[in-house]
Structures are given as C-alpha cells and as structure tokens.
Amino acid sequence: MRKHLLFLLLILLLAALPAFSAEYYYEKGDTAFTFSVGADFPFFQGFVNNETKGFEFGVKGTHTYIGGYGALSYESFITRSLAVGGEIGYAFNNSYAKKILTTIPITAKLSWYPVQTGKFDLILHANAGISVLRYDSNRFLAPHIKLSVNPVYYITDSWGLGLDAGIWANYEHYNSSASGSKSTESAFGVFAPLTLSLIYRH
C-alpha cells in the first residue's frame, strides 16, 4: 500500500516538474476568494494518554459518520507563487448516538502555487489556527491544523472550479492536574475533507 502511494506521489511530482519551470501567472498583490463545500470523512481519533482506547480509525473506530464540510477563504499573493490569508470553515459529523459533532475552524492560510498555467493551478494549502468544537452541549476551543491539495481548472479568466482533498486535525487537551482523570481523554480528532471549490481570482 505504501509502495503504491509513494509511486503515485512520484508520478505526480514528475508530471508537475515541467510546470515548475513555467512562467508565473500571478503577480504580487493578486487576490483569490474560495468557497468550498463537500464531504467530511472521519479518519481517526487518537487518545494519547489512554491505554484502552488508543488510536481508532474510520467510522467504526471513531463512532462518527461521514458528514459535511464547507469553508470560505480569502488570500493575497505575497510573492508570485505564495499567498497568505484566512479561512473560516464548518464541519459536521453525526456520532453513533445521532448527536452532531460540529467543528468551526478559524485559521490563517498559506498557499503555494507550484503549478500555475493560467488555465490550471495546482495549489497546496496549509492552515493553522483554532477551532470551536461542539458536541452534546459541550464546547471546546482546540488548536487546529489542516493540509490540502487543490487542483483547479479555470473556466474563465476569473472563475475556476477545483477539487480540494485534505486532512485536518484538532487536539483536545486536558491537563492532568487541572482535570483529574479527564487527562486520559485528551485526544486528536482527525478528519479528511473532500470538497469542490469555486475560486474567484482577481
């Protein structure tokens, strides 16, 4: 499985190499708005201080069903291939108990455009910030990171459609001295969103 994945990555890298040497399309100061909507797949939950729970994967392990994910972002180019901005998202997943786990990430966003032909962009995003978790009347403010890859095809000069595949993680931390036995419930919540993105660049 790992060999196949490495091979796929190598092919993608080789395919993208010619584009790396291509002319830049973007200028410093260009901007981009992105609206994304799609599915949110439960990946795993990792209980770092818990001997019985440990890491549990997928729907069955996390007791969380496939849900939805949406995000709005704004970015401005600081170089011809790097853009920075912000993003606010919303993710929801039903638990086995049919209660909704919601996550609202508010992040700073860094995007790298290694491939930019004017008609096609390959964008790598990295987000970092906080997210508000809510479940069954409980709330928690957690650190949040997200990585994604986003190929985009531009229908016009300004409007593009893309597919954004990524992974995001929250960390819900409980200090052992402050929360007693709840420290064993400190956990990573990791999900994989797959969204369609609509991009307006200017």
Partner 1 sequence: MKKATFITIIAALLLIVSCNVDSEHGIYYKVATSQASSGINIIKALGFSEGSPDIHYFLTDDGICTTSNTQGDTRYIEGSQGKNIRGAYLQFSSMYYYYSNAEGKVYKLYATGESELVPRYANGKFEVSSNGFAYNKKQYSFIDAEVINDATISNPRFSGSSMLSMEGTTKALIYKASNEAQTITGLTASATGFAVSQDEEYYYIFNGKNIYKVEVTPGEETALGDAIYSGLGTAPTGGYTAVEYSIDDDDFLLVRTASGFTKIDVSSRSASTVSFLSDLNDVVVIDMYVVGDGKIAIVTYENGIHIADMVNSKLSDDIL
Where do we find the tokens 């969103």?
A: 193
Q: Which stretch binds partner 1 (CB under 8 A): 2-10, 24-32, 143-151, 187-195?
A: 187-195
| Nearest-angstrom CA–CA distance, 22 and 122 | 13
Q: How far is the CB of 108 from partner 1 (least distance, A)?
A: 15
User: 53 by DSSP, 3-state: which?
Assistant: coil
Q: Helix or strand or coil: residue 13?
A: helix
Bridge partners of 140, per DSSP, are 133
What x/- string results for residues 81 through 100 when contact with partner 1 is judged by CB under 8 A?
A: --------------xxxxx-
With 0-12 CB in 10 A as exposed, 13-18 as middle and 19+ as buried, what is 35? middle
**With binding defined as CB under 8 A, does residue 107 bind partner 1?**
no
DSSP structural state of residue 175: -
Q: How far is the CB of 133 from partner 1 (least distance, A)?
A: 5
Return the range that interacts with partner 1 (CB under 8 A); candidates 12-20, 24-32, 133-141, 147-155.
133-141
Which residue lies nearer to partner 1 by CB, 89 or 189?
Answer: 189
**Residue 60 binds partner 1 (CB under 8 A):** no
* Beta bridge partners of residue 171, listed in sequence order: 188
Query: Least distance from C-beta 140 to partner 1, angstroms?
Result: 5
Using alpha carbons, select from 109, 124, 106, 123 the residue that is nearest to residue 170. 106
Question: Which residue from 141, 155, 161, 196 is in contact with partner 1, where contact means CB under 8 A?
Answer: 141
Per DSSP, the three-state class of 181 is helix
- Spell out, one character per residue from 61 to 80, where the chain touches partner 1: x when CB under 8 A holds, - when not: xxxx----------------
| 51 sits near partner 1 (criterion: CB under 8 A) | yes
Q: Is 20 helix (H, G, I), strand (E, B) or coil?
A: helix
Which region, judged by CB under 8 A, interacts with partner 1, from 4-12, 81-89, 125-133, 193-201?
Answer: 125-133
Q: Could you give the CA distance from residue 167 to residue 10 in angstroms, rounded to a whole number?
A: 20
| Binding-site ranges for partner 1 (CB under 8 A) | 45, 47, 51-53, 56, 61-64, 95-99, 101, 130, 132-136, 138-141, 172, 174, 178-179, 181-182, 185-189
